[in-house]
A = this chain, B = another copy of it.
Amino acid sequence: MKYFLLAVLFLSNLIAEAQSQDEQFIRKIYDEALARGQSYEMLEHLCTKIGPRLSGSPGAAAAVEWSRQVMQAYGFDSVWLQPVMVPHWVRGKKEIGRIVNSKKLGLEAVNICALGGSVGTGAAGVLANVVEVKTWDELKQLGEKGVKGKIVFFNRPMDPKIIPMFSSYGGAVDQRANGASEAAKLGAIGVIVRSMGVNLEDYPHTGSLRYALNVPKIPAVAISTRHAELLSSLLKDDKELKFYFETHCETLPDAPSFNVIGELKGTQYPEEIIVVGGHLDSWDLGQGAHDDGTGCVQSIEVLRLYKAMGYKPKRTIRAVMFMNEENGLRGGVEYANQAKLKNEKHIAAMESDRGGFTPRGFTMPSDAKAKEKIRSWKPLLEPYGLADFNQEGGGADISPLAPQGVPLMGFLPDSQRYFNYHHTPEDTFDKVDKRELELGAASMAALVYLIDQYGLK
């Protein structure tokens, strides 16, 4: 009994010591990130010197080469490019949008932009009457008779009453994704979608649409929320109102591009890989700051922090800049393909693609044991404002790793401001707060450190 008690005492001392070491190590991660962090300077370069970087664009190519050089300059153990062919959509000349022959306003210019992947109207434009719907049921009710030859205006707003903004987005984005094909099935010749923003704004939000197979591809644009309200109010007593829009976008042949990968080799279990990543491509309208420049520089910063602190991870830790999240996910798919081909053993993957805002927590893997293990670390993370470990999910780029049984998780910053900027000309460097960005990088480094130390089994 005496020896048993001594053993228990010894063990609990060991555990307490480990906890206190972890506590100290995590504190040092935050110290380094906040006092000597480099994520903000990296982001400034990526946003203001390179700027927008839609898949296939020169900006995307510049971002690939820049991030390769940055990780090499930091002296990561290996840095390499993983080739992947990507869709190459270009916006072309600035779009024109006009309300025509309105009884109240006559002719009125409105702020629109083509949706990513849309066919263009060319110089002829599209001119037609407009029917407004908020639900798929309303569209169905209208039927071919009500829709044929017209422009369908999808105007269901993001619900402001929903607290997590990604859930609010989830309740409206089906219009952007599927609106064009659903309207085309009934004979529509064009589609206007209310921008995915919760506030009244003057600028439109772009984003991908999905054309269904064997349905005519009709041109689709997003309209600013303020002009969506205007159009809707005019339509109420003016059924003869027409809308004109002109877009010059087109899809070119697939283009060569790359995922960019940097790695610190594990000292004890080099074959066990932990991925931390964001996506390097962005929409073309802003600078891709919150979406997803922040996730990229935070991922690089995680490895840089370890190097700066002299930390040698037990497992191999990879920063992955995925290419083509916005309009194809080809980079994420290729990364998972290669992992499978090479028989790589990924023990965890974390994505940061919700903006560089103040940290709130992490989204959890679906695996119950992994989830429980992460939650057991809550006392170590809560002092840094990481309190939300409730939602499940990883991120788009890492999702193709799911079939290989990799536990997927996401960095979870505050979501309230994200959709002010998402996919708009406003997504620029100056919208990112230095400390919020740095705290995010440190939070990611803290959780990756714990996974590196203890695994997720």
Contact = CB atoms under 8 A, between A and B. Distances in A.
A35 B198 CA distance: 10
Contact of A416 (B160, B161, B198, B436): B436
A163 B385 contact: yes
Contacts of A208: none
A271 interface: no
Interface in A69-97: none
Interface string A363-391: 00000000000000000000111011000
A435 B198 contact: yes
Contact of A436 (B34, B161, B417, B435): B417
Nearest to A162: B34
A433 interface: yes
A57 interface: no
Contacts of A385: 163, 360, 388, 414
A360 B439 CA distance: 16
Interface string A309-327: 0000000000000000000
B160 A34 contact: yes
Contacts of A198: 435
Interface in A1-58: 30-31, 34-35
Contacts of A388: 385, 387
Contacts of A35: 160-161
Tell me the number of copies of this protein. Answer: 2
A387 B361 CA distance: 11
Contacts of A420: 433
A232 interface: no
Contacts of A358: 358, 414, 416
Interface string A247-268: 0000000000000000000000
B387 A416 contact: no
A199 interface: yes
Interface in A152-177: 160-161, 163, 165
Nearest to A200: B434
Given A360-B385, A434-B199, A30 B439 contact: no
Nearest to A419: B435
A199 B436 CA distance: 12
A294 to B, nearest CB: 14
Contacts of A384: 163
A116 B358 CA distance: 32
Contacts of A160: 34-35, 435
A434 B200 CA distance: 11
Nearest to A37: B160
Given A358-B358, A358-B414, A360-B385, A161 B30 contact: yes
A226 to B, nearest CB: 14
A161 B31 contact: yes
Contacts of A165: 435
- Name, among A383, A416, A433, the residue most crowded by chain B CB atoms within 10 Å (CB to CB): A416
A163 B30 contact: yes
A414 B414 contact: yes
B163 A383 contact: yes
Interface in A435-457: 435-436, 439
Contacts of A30: 161, 163
Nearest to A415: B358
Contact of A439 (B31, B416, B434): B416
A198 B199 CA distance: 30
Given A165-B435, A414-B414, A416-B436, 14 more contacts: A35-B160, A160-B435, A163-B383, A163-B385, A163-B439, A358-B358, A358-B414, A358-B416, A385-B388, A385-B414, A387-B387, A416-B435, A417-B433, A417-B436
CB-based closest 8 A-B pairs: A387-B387, A34-B160, A416-B435, A31-B161, A358-B414, A34-B161, A358-B416, A416-B436
